[in-house]
Each structure stands twice: as C-alpha cells, then as structure tokens.
Amino acid sequence: MSECAVRVEGISKLYRIGARRDPRTFRETLTGLVTRRRKEDEEERDLWALRDVSFDVPRGQAVGIIGQNGAGKSTLLKILSRITEPTSGRIEVHGRVSSLLEVGTGFHSELTGRENIALNGAILGMTRVEIRQRFDEIVAFAEVERFIDTPVKYYSSGMYMRLAFAVAAHLEPEILVVDEVLAVGDAAFQSKCLRKMNDVASHGRTVLFVSHNMPAVKGLCQEAVWLKRGSVVEIGSSDSVVNHYLQETTTAPDHALIHEQLRELPPDPVFRMDDIAVLQDGTPTATVLSDRPVEVSIDYEVLESSAGLHVHVMLYDFEETLIFETLHNGSDPGLPLVREGRYRSTAIIPADLLAPRPYQIRVTAAIHNQRTLLPAPIRVNIDVQPTGIVNRAYPGFTTSGRLAPNIEWHTSSIA
C-alpha cells in the first residue's frame, strides 16, 4: 500500500466568466437581440481558481489548507473529492474518501436521516453490517435520535450539519475531507467536531482540513498548505505556515489617526509627545499574534527637567474594562528626575498573556501629584489573534477570559 494518501501534481482549474453561449429558446433569442450590443462590448475573462498546485499528503497525516477567501481552497477539495475535474494536472488518491464540503453534501432531501446514513455508507463501499455497527454512534453524535426517521428536508441547518458531519466522520473513511465545518453550529458542536477529527487523525487516517480557524489548524494538523490566488505560497509545519500567513494578513496600524491625535494636542511647556507605535517582531501592526511579545514604543521630548514625570500606558478591552496599566519608570524608587531631552520608552507586553479579542491601548503622561501633561490619552486599537496552543481544552479552544497567561503547572502521581 502506498505511503502517500493523496498526491497532487500540477493541478490547475480554469473558470470562464462572461463567456457567451448560444441561445436555446425563442425567449433567449429575443433577449439576445436586445442585449447584443452590450454583450459585444464585454470581453471573455479567464479566472484561474488554481494554478499549478502540487503537494503530497502522507498516509495518516492531518493537513490544513489555509488562505483568504478566493484562494482556491474549496475548489481544490472539490477536485480531490471528484466533484469537479481539473483543467490540467493529475491527482492520485489512495483510499476511501469521505467529504464534508458544505451542509448536507451527499444527502437526498426526500430521504430520512436513517436512509441517508445507509446511502452514504453504500457510496463509500461499506457493507450493511459495517453501516449497522456504526449507526447508533452516528445518531448519538448528531443528537437527532428523535428525528432519524424524518426526511432531512425538514431538518434545521444545525441538525443537517450535525448529521452530515457524523456520517462523514464515523463511516471510517481512510481519507476525511472537511471544508469549514466550524462555520456552522454552536460552540459545543464545534468543539465536538474538532475532538472527533483529532480522534480520526490519531487513529492513522488522513484528514484534509480547510478552515479560517488558525488555532484549530495548528492544534489538529501536522502540516499546512497555504494558497494565495490559486497558487501555493508555502508548504510546511502547521505552526510555521500559519504564523507566516497571519503575519502577511495582519492589518497595518492607522498612523494617520495616531498623528491626528498628536497634532491636536495643545502645546505644553514641559512635555511633547512625538510618536506612538505598536510593533511585533520589529514591524508596526494593528493585528497582534498572541504567542509573541508586543512592543508599545513611545517617542517624546522633555522640555524642562521634572521630578516624577512618567509616561503611562493603559490597556482596555472594548467593554471599557481596564486590563492593566504601567508606568515607564514605575519600578524606580521615589520620584526619579527626568532631565531635558528626547526619549523613546518601550513597554513590552509578554507573549501568551492576552486572550484573543480587540483591545485599546491608551497612552498619556503626567507629573506625579501635579498635573496631567495630555488633555486626553492617545488611543491605538489592536486586535489579538490566537496563535498559541497553551491552555487549550481541545484544538481551536478560545478562552472567554480577558487574559490568557501560560500558567505553570506541576502534576504528579500520589498514593
């Protein structure tokens, strides 16, 4: 048996947009006469959904396929699932494939849940005995016992999705192909799906997983393929590929908004704030990866030596809860004298501290027990994206807390 479960060699897929076709009815002929002039001005356009995509998936490995919307991820899975044919290239699939590409893929709306389970099992080449052995487990996972003999056209989208995923994951495919299963369903169902896919992968079966949930990709998959505009950007370990993908897709900080706030500050005889930047890995950013330190860099000028002058950084969430505050000289004893000159003070927020969510950094300055040097704090918005796998109860787990520190634990056996 081949050690390669899936081999993709030079796959390309062309879609033609705006291509003219011959009218087939009298009505279409009349419509064509009316709109011919407009259509003659339209040019046929070629859309390459995939271009020369190649990679191998070893047997028993979970591989994530990531990229922004329109990158070609779903098209690739449809080709792998034999739903559509490539324009060029070839694929080799060694093993029985079960696909969940959208809600209810492979289901017949007029058949009951029970009948659809049997139908999907038969399509996968399973015997009736094998299907019966898995039936109760499938129904229990999907939580549709009460409706199993009801035609699925009467199911809610959530029931449809639960049963579709249960069928795809429990009929023991050698290759499980899943496209954005986390886009539907509540949090409990999503965590159940992730645990099941993790179980499938841990039992030596192959998983191809498309998702925008980067912690889930890192937690579930050993390898990742990054697609951009239909082409492969990078193939490698999921940690490395996901981090590179997030770095490229981060949002640049709005320097214009920061400088506008700085320009509106009234002159002060003692202090002038010159610039504020949020950086990660030395690059200005408004989208922060949770597993790396963040720097808040503040440039300012002290025009008159002052005792007790400090630069003050506060972090708020968007519910106006103060998460923490810190002073640039807050660890100094007494009231340190800050002499005239230009300075750059940098506050470093440690890695694996902030939980994934939006925050606002507020920067101000003051002289202790005398006065505030800015009429209002300068505000900078950041968005923390989950990239680490600390404190995860399952792949893709996101804490509801405001902080997510990596707390040290020690566990030992006791008598």
Average pLDDT by stretches of 10, the chain with 415 residues: 83 77 57 53 69 91 89 89 88 82 70 88 79 88 88 84 80 80 62 78 83 80 91 91 78 77 91 94 88 92 93 88 90 84 94 88 91 91 77 62 76 66
In angstroms, the CA 381 to CA 6 distance is 43
Which amino acid does the sequence have at 406?
A: N
CA atoms within a 13 Å half-sphere pointing along the CA-CB vector of 230: 15
How many Å separate Cα 150 from the centre of its chain?
35
Cβ burial 110-130 (10 Å sphere, 16+ → b, else e)? eebbbbbbbbbbeebebeeee
DSSP code for 87: S
276, 363 contact by CB (below 8 A): yes
CA dihedral 95, 101, 106, 107 (to 10 degrees): 140
Per-residue confidence (pLDDT) for residue 411, from 0 to 100: 57
Per-residue confidence (pLDDT) for residue 41, from 0 to 100: 45
Tell me if domain 4-19+43-248 and domain 255-385 are identical in fold: no
Topology annotation, domain 255-385 = Coagulation Factor XIII; Chain A, domain 1 (2.70.50)
Where does 4-19+43-248 sit in CATH, by number?
3.40.50.300
Sign for the CA dihedral angle at 289, 295, 298, 299 comes to: negative
Annotated domain spans of the chain: 4-19+43-248, 255-385
